[in-house]
Amino acid sequence: MAMQDVPWDDETEIMIQSIDAQSGSAVPKLRDLLLNPQKYLLKPGADSTISKARSNVNMYFDALLEDLKDEQAKFTHELEGMSSQYNRISEVVMEKTLSLNVPYITPSYVELNRDESEEITISQYNDSVDQLVGKLTSASKYVADISIKYKEYTLGSWLFSCERPYIITLERPKNQLMYIESSRKAINDLLNDLAEQYGSGAQE
């Protein structure tokens, strides 16, 4: 389990530990590099150290994803279905807000108090969802599309600003690939931050 003071989640901690285990006696270990960069990067060769770490990370994830090709095809199908559901529900929300003259916004950021809101997870659009959207819209000051973009797909989620906020969320695919790719991005983003601070700049 990830310790509380690390800037990544538990899944990413597992990946980092696996990368370090595969690196044998190589120094620095990825985890130590990310948490204590000054030990290794305040000296000549910082760019090379970061580059080697990035190469090890990408080799690890490339091999991991290669073993999950069949899973990737299934995951892509699930994401396509979810994006289709998002488009359908988004149209319904837009129609309801227009007919009731309720503002429909797509904010860049929303700060939510999860303890004060109620979240409803649905698997697909149907007449009951249509009725629920209408009821919540009529009681809202505004409706916000707070969906998340994942690659070219949209993971649908809508906030209805009733007296007690309600969030309708499309059920997310239960697939390890999302966690794997999220961890890869998180680690490479951290390495890019180190390159900005200690090296000559970030890379893709």
| Domain membership flag for residue 127 | yes
**pLDDT of 114 over the 90 cut:** no
| Domain membership flag for residue 91 | yes
Q: How confident is the model at residue 116 (pLDDT cuts 50, 70, 90)?
A: confident
- What pLDDT score was predicted for residue 30? 96
Question: Is residue 167 a contact partner of residue 120, using CB atoms and an 8 Å limit?
Answer: yes
| Domain membership flag for residue 189 | no
* Structural domain that includes position 155: 70-170
| Domain membership flag for residue 65 | no
Q: In this structure, what DSSP letter does residue 77 have?
A: H
Distances (CA, A) of 137 to 9, 118, 128, 141, 165: 35, 15, 14, 8, 11
- What pLDDT score was predicted for residue 111? 84
Q: Comparing C-alpha atoms, which of 99, 91, 81, 194 is closest to residue 145?
A: 91
In terms of residues, how long is the chain? Answer: 204
Question: Is residue 104 a contact partner of residue 159, using CB atoms and an 8 Å limit?
Answer: no
Q: What is the pLDDT of residues 128-162, one digit of tens each?
A: 999 999 999 999 999 999 999 988 999 999 999 99
| Domain membership flag for residue 87 | yes
Q: How confident is the model at residue 201 (pLDDT cuts 50, 70, 90)?
A: low
Q: In this structure, what DSSP letter does residue 99 have?
A: H
| Domain membership flag for residue 122 | yes
Q: How confident is the model at residue 109 (pLDDT cuts 50, 70, 90)?
A: confident
- What pLDDT score was predicted for residue 34? 95
Q: Per-residue pLDDT averaged across 108-129, rounded?
A: 89
Q: Pick 98 or 178 by higher pLDDT.
A: 98
| Domain membership flag for residue 100 | yes
* Other Cβ atoms within 10 Å of 109 Cβ, number: 5
Query: CA-to-CA distance for 122 and 163, rounded, in angstroms?
Result: 22
Q: How confident is the model at residue 2 (pLDDT cuts 50, 70, 90)?
A: very low
| Domain membership flag for residue 28 | no
Domain count, the chain: 1
Q: Pick 42 or 199 by higher pLDDT.
A: 42
Angle between helices 69-100 and 176-198 (to 10 degrees): 90
Question: Is residue 183 a contact partner of residue 11, using CB atoms and an 8 Å limit?
Answer: yes
Q: Pick 111 or 189 by higher pLDDT.
A: 189
